[in-house]
Amino acid sequence: MTAILQDAAQSASLDRLFTAAHAARENAYAPYSHFAVGAAVRTPDGAIFSGANVENAAYPAGCCAETGAIAAMVAAGGRQIAEVLVVADCGEGIWPCGACRQRIAEFATEDAVVHSAGPEGVRQSIKFAALLPRAFDRQTLESESG
Ligand code: THU
């Protein structure tokens, strides 16, 4: 593929990721925080899975949008995340919370990218490795020397 075609394909794929996360956000269940979040993950083969935050009267039982998107991916057989997009309507922009960074780390490819979006579109994109350096992962667990 030429560079221009590749750029166009990448931008179409990012549009699909944003559309999926944005649509999920419309269905967010956030009656306590009133902070609606949508998330979407893309596997290396192009499949997209989305989720929204689901709060609960027992606050700690609530789930983040990323958690829902990852659960949908796993239920469909997906095991790798190449891209994550999170969307909320907040001034400074949204990035996955600490617990969700750990959940993403379980499936992120080496060069996975995370996009932070507002309702109008993507604002910033960074490599996942920069969001959670030195993650506790499967290799750490398997390298136990005791
Ligand atoms: N939330 C997410 O869905 N994803 C994040 O990365 C950060 C926070 C949700 C959880 C809760 O429902 C609301 O945002 C306020 O914390």
Tell how far the Cα of 37 is from the centroid of ligand 1, in angstroms: 6
Q: Chain-wide mean pLDDT for the chain?
A: 96
Whether residue 66 lies in the annotated active site? yes
Residue-level pLDDT at 121? 97
Could you read off the pLDDT of 42-53 as tens digits, one per residue? 999 999 999 999
Evaluate: CB of 66 within 6 angstroms of ligand 1. yes
> Global pTM?
0.95
What 8-state DSSP symbol labels residue 59?
G
Is the CB of 100 within 6 Å of ligand 1?
A: yes
Q: Are strands 108-118 and 81-87 parallel, antiparallel or unpaired?
A: parallel
CATH of 8-145, one of 3.30.1330.60, 3.40.50.300, 3.40.140.10, 1.20.1510.10: 3.40.140.10
Residue 69's H or E segment, with its range, is helix 65-75
Do the beta carbons of residue 125 and residue 133 sit within 8 Å? Answer: no
pLDDT of 92 strictly over 70: yes
97-134 pLDDT, tens digit per residue, is 999 999 999 999 999 999 999 999 999 999 999 999 99
**Percent helix, strand and coil across the chain, each to the nearest 5:** 40, 25, 35
Q: Which residues touch 17 (CB under 8 Å, ≥6 apart)?
A: 40, 42, 48, 83, 85, 115
Q: How far is the CA of 142 from the centre of ligand 1 (A)?
A: 31
Q: Which residue is closest in CA terms to ligand 1's atom 7?
A: 97
